[in-house]
Structure 1
């Protein structure tokens, strides 16, 4: 039996969580501007599938590892923050690719997927989600529903943010404008770490 009220509450929560600015959204928007929508597709797929897989893994018992070894949460928190700082620097330094010039390129599928495991905001959201919406249905249907909703909302959100970045390409035509935009995105990415250090 599925609780309809809890199902819709969870769907609304997922929509708000995915569509509001966060590390994944900022990174794909910057990638959409710098490399275009098509080249960012592997990154999009990595984020969506990687995040949904993580929800399933935590829901099926992986989260108990963090209960047994709380120090892992601290390690993950600071490792994730360090990686986000590294990515912010890479985004800030990225300019539009020049014809005939080798470019670092957008994140690959595996890089996008593996990033989810050090995405501090993602971990907080997943652990909170699994516990708060466990009563959406009986186990393991509750986990299946959460994974499916995250797949749908994640796809819609990440695609929208990437398209927004791609849509800015005709307006931000000079390397200087792209650099300024990417620096602004890098600063927003760093700002997303504020809640992590304020815990």
Structure 2
């Protein structure tokens, strides 16, 4: 397969993953507090979570999950509570050397867990599976194609946000600057929950 037919899929994945949301906010916060290298596990978890979600949606699991309203509500509730907990941790933390509530960065499994509990992500990946089904001649190949594409593009997008967070972290010198950043990121994270519940 040549690259030209894949360009719309790549663009769709790029726009979907680089726009601000819960994962990008957490990548920025992690970059600011822990630096790029220590943030790689959570970024990897987010990227793998989205890639595996896209693959599962293409294979048909997304349709099953979205057909069960009670499961959607449970996913929204768990995902929202987890994001609120993370927002509280970020908002209460201080400068990196005194961030008692954020002694270590969020890990790989937590990143995967967060992505898989996001019904908005399932809806987006199901939309991608429907829109780009013609790119593959079987559900398995489509699952592989979407999974790899979303994983790689998400990794790139999150790396951009994390690097911006690290650069911002180097610019902040005083406790009040860190407090303002932490509260702003915490608020953005809480705001990112709203689309999850919007029908």
Shared fold per TM-score greater than 0.5:
yes
Task: Go from structure 1 to structure 2 and tell me whether the alpha carbon gap of 1:198 and 1:70 turns closer, same or farther (over 3 Å shift).
Answer: closer
Is the Cα contact below 8 Å between 2:56 and 2:143 reproduced in 1? no
Runs of 4+ aligned structure 1 residues displaced above 6 Å come to none
Asked whether the 8 Å contact 2:89–2:101 carries over to 1, the reply is no
Unmatched runs of 5 consecutive residues or more in structure 2? none
Q: Aligned equivalents of 1:128 and 1:106: distance in 2?
A: 32
- Structure-2 residue corresponding to 1:174: 174
Equivalent residues, number: 198
Give the corresponding residue for 1:108.
107
Cα pair distance change 1:76/1:19, threshold 3 Å: same
How far apart are 1:93 and its partner, in Å?
1.2
Please report the RMSD computed on the Cα atoms of aligned residues, expressed in angstroms.
2.3
Instruction: Give the equivalent residue in structure 1 for 2:13.
Output: 14
The Cα shift of 1:180 comes to: 0.9
Does residue 117 in structure 1 map to residue 113 in structure 2?
A: no
Contact 2:57 2:126 in 1 (8 A): yes
Residue of structure 2 equivalent to 1:24: 23
Residue 144 (str. 1) matches residue 144 (str. 2): yes
Task: Check whether the contact 1:46–1:112 (CA below 8 A) recurs between aligned residues.
Answer: yes
State the distance in 2 between where 1:2 and 1:57 align.
Answer: 24
Residue 3 of structure 1 and its aligned partner are, at CA, apart by 9.9
Separation of aligned partners in 1, 2:102 and 2:181: 18
* Alpha-carbon distance in 2 for matches of 1:47, 1:71: 25
1:148: Cα distance to partner?
1.7
Normalised by the size of structure 2, how large is the TM-score?
A: 0.88
- Answer whether contact 1:35 1:96 (CA < 8 A) is retained: no
Given that residues 83 and 118 in structure 1 are in contact (C-alpha distance below 8 angstroms), is that contact kept between their aligned partners in structure 2? no
Q: Note if contact 2:93-2:101 (Cα within 8 Å) is conserved in structure 1.
A: no
Q: Does the 8 A contact of 1:46 with 1:109 survive in 2?
A: yes
Q: Describe the superposition over 1:89-118 as per-residue Cα deviations: whole angstroms up to 9, x where unpaired.
A: 11111222327x795311011111211111
Q: Tell me, which stretches of 5 or more residues in structure 1 are unaligned?
A: none
| Bigger proportion of residues as helix | 2
Do the aligned partners of residues 3 and 33 (structure 1) sit closer, same or farther apart at CA in structure 2, a change above 3 Å counting?
closer
TM-score by length of 1: 0.88
Alignment of 1:27-176 (within 5 A): 27-67=26-66, 69-98=68-97, 103-139=102-138, 140-176=140-176
